[in-house]
Amino acid sequence: MTEASQHNETDELVRSDDPLHPANHISDLCRRFHTLGWVTGTGGGVSIRHGDHIYLAPSGVQKEMMQPTDMFVMDYETKEYLRRPKVLKPSACTPLFLAAYTHRNAGCCIHTHSQWAVLITLICESGLQKPSERNVFSIKEIEQIKGISRGGSGSDEVAEGGRKLGNLGYHDTMMIPIIENTAHEEDLKDTLQKAIEEWPETCAVLVKRHGVYVWGKDVAQAKTQAESLDYLFQLAVEMHKLGLKWVS
Ligand SMILES: CSCCC(=O)C(=O)COP(=O)(O)O
Ligand SMILES: [Zn+2]
């Protein structure tokens, strides 16, 4: 098989008229997220799981300019690439997206470099918080908390061991773990995985001085949770500036 025919064959994995096809959807979401400051300066990204296929963006590119044919496609079972665009490298976030798929059965994972996410990690890190509060962002009694599911599930059923599923209620406390940043994105994998295991109710992990990873059972849930979280991070930063406490 020639290189040219090989390329055309794998193009079938990313060419579709359906705007909700993962290759089109990732490009579209990144354009929208760029306007929110979530994926600027090549940072941040989105990945979608579609059946046995994982769709991943390239690394180090302007995320708002990506085309569907720029996407990498990985087989979920074998972790082998079914499609690798020439010249490009897969996102350095790939092992972190895979952690959300493997450990939470997520259908989509969003990584933002939102300044609100970064600021909330700085406020939690600062001496203003009790030592026990420095590695977690907790907030309660704000309506938008109801947009957050326990564990990124979305179901109203009760999980094994009696653990509640479904979305948080107004009087629940939302807790998002904060992990240390590393010099290289891919080296976050072990601590992110540990946080996912230690915080079964979380649908996100904040990375100190870096951003946030948010997942959901599908694109809609990952996106609305990323929006709700960004709202809550911004609100908490503004409350902090006003001297108001966001958890008692
Ligand atoms: C200025 S972005 C540094 C890398 C990073 O944190 C990130 O989220 C983007 O990684 P990618 O490999 O997807 O470009
Ligand atoms: Zn990043």
Tell me the pLDDT tens digit for each residue of 35-94. 999 999 999 999 999 999 999 999 999 999 999 999 999 999 999 999 999 989 999 999
Report how far ligand 1's centroid is from the alpha carbon of 168 (Å).
Answer: 31
140 and 73, same structural domain? no
Candidate of 71, 93, 182, 207 to mutate for ligand 1, largest count of ligand atoms within 8 Å of Cβ:
93
User: What is residue 4's predicted lDDT score, i.e. its pLDDT?
Assistant: 42
Task: Please give the distance, rounded to the nearest whole angstrom, from the Cα atom of residue 3 to the centre of ligand 1.
Answer: 29
Report which protein residue has its CA nearest ligand 1's atom 9.
43
43: Cβ below 6 Å to ligand 1?
yes
Question: What pLDDT is attached to residue 139?
Answer: 95
Residue with the smallest CA separation from ligand 1 atom 4 is 43
Each as own residue / partner, the long-range contacts of residues 243-248 (CB below 8 Å, 24 or more positions apart, any chain) are: 246/138, 246/139, 246/142, 247/133, 247/138, 247/139, 247/140, 247/173
Decide whether any atom of ligand 1 lies within 6 Å of the 90 Cβ: no
Q: Is residue 70 part of a domain?
A: yes
Look at residue 5 in the predicted model and tell me its pLDDT. 41
Q: Is the pLDDT of residue 30 over 60?
A: yes
Question: Do residues 231 and 138 both lie within one domain?
Answer: yes
DSSP per-residue letters across 121-144? HHHHHSTTS-GGGTTEEEEES-GG
The answer as to whether 143 is a domain residue is: yes
Ligand 1 close to Cβ of residue 58 (< 6 A): no
Residue 113 marked ligand-binding: yes
pLDDT of the residue at 163: 65
Domain boundary among 36, 60, 91: 91
Tell me if residue 133 is catalytic.
no
Any domain includes 97: no
Q: What is the pLDDT of residues 143-153, one digit of tens each?
A: 999 999 998 75
Number of domains in the chain: 2
Residue 183's pLDDT band (cuts 50, 70, 90): very high
192 and 245 belong to one structural domain: yes
State if residue 45 touches ligand 1 by the CB under 6 angstroms criterion.
yes
Q: Is residue 8 part of a domain?
A: yes
Mind listing the pLDDT tens digit for each residue in 190-212? Answer: 999 999 999 999 999 999 999 99
Examine residue 101 and state whether it is found in any structural domain, yes or no.
no
The confidence score (pLDDT) of residue 2 equals: 41
71 and 119 in a single domain? The answer is: no
% the chain with pLDDT above 70: 91
Specify the long-range contacts of residues 194-203, CB closer than 8 Å, at least 24 apart.
196/99, 196/100, 196/103, 196/104, 197/103, 199/175, 200/151, 200/163, 201/150, 201/151, 201/163, 201/175, 202/151, 202/152, 202/175, 202/176, 202/177, 203/104, 203/148, 203/149, 203/150, 203/151, 203/152
Q: Does residue 240 share a domain with residue 125?
A: yes
Q: Are residues 21 and 121 in the same domain?
A: no
Among 46, 16, 20, smallest CA distance to 31 is for 46
Residue with CA nearest ligand 1 atom 13: 91
Could you tell me the distance, in angstroms and rounded to a whole number, from the CA of residue 242 to the centre of ligand 1? 33
Average pLDDT, the chain: 92
pLDDT of residue 178: 97
Q: Are residues 128 and 49 in the same domain?
A: no
Q: Does residue 67 sit in the same domain as residue 120?
A: no
Is 158's pLDDT higher than 60? no
Is 108 inside any structural domain? Answer: no
If you take atom 11 of ligand 1, which residue's CA is the nearest one? 59
Q: Are residues 167 and 87 in the same domain?
A: no
* Confidence check on the interface: ipTM exceeds 0.95, yes or no: yes
Q: Is the CB of 42 under 6 A from ligand 1?
A: yes
pLDDT value, residue 127: 72
Contact 154, 241 (CB under 8 A): no
9 is written with which tokens?
């064959």
Instruction: Please give the span between the terminal C-alpha atoms of the chain, in angstroms, as a whole number.
Output: 65
**Res 245 pLDDT > 60:** yes
pLDDT band at 112 (very low <50, low <70, confident <90, very high): very high
> Does some domain include residue 109?
no
Asked if the structure places residue 237 within a domain, the reply is yes
Q: 176: domain CATH number?
A: 3.40.225.10
Nearest CA to ligand 1 atom 7: 43
Catalytic residue of the set 12, 77, 143, 160: 143
- Whether 41 is in the pocket of ligand 1, judged by its Cβ within 6 Å, is yes
What is the domain extent for residue 18?
A: 1-91
Same domain (yes/no): 47, 124: no
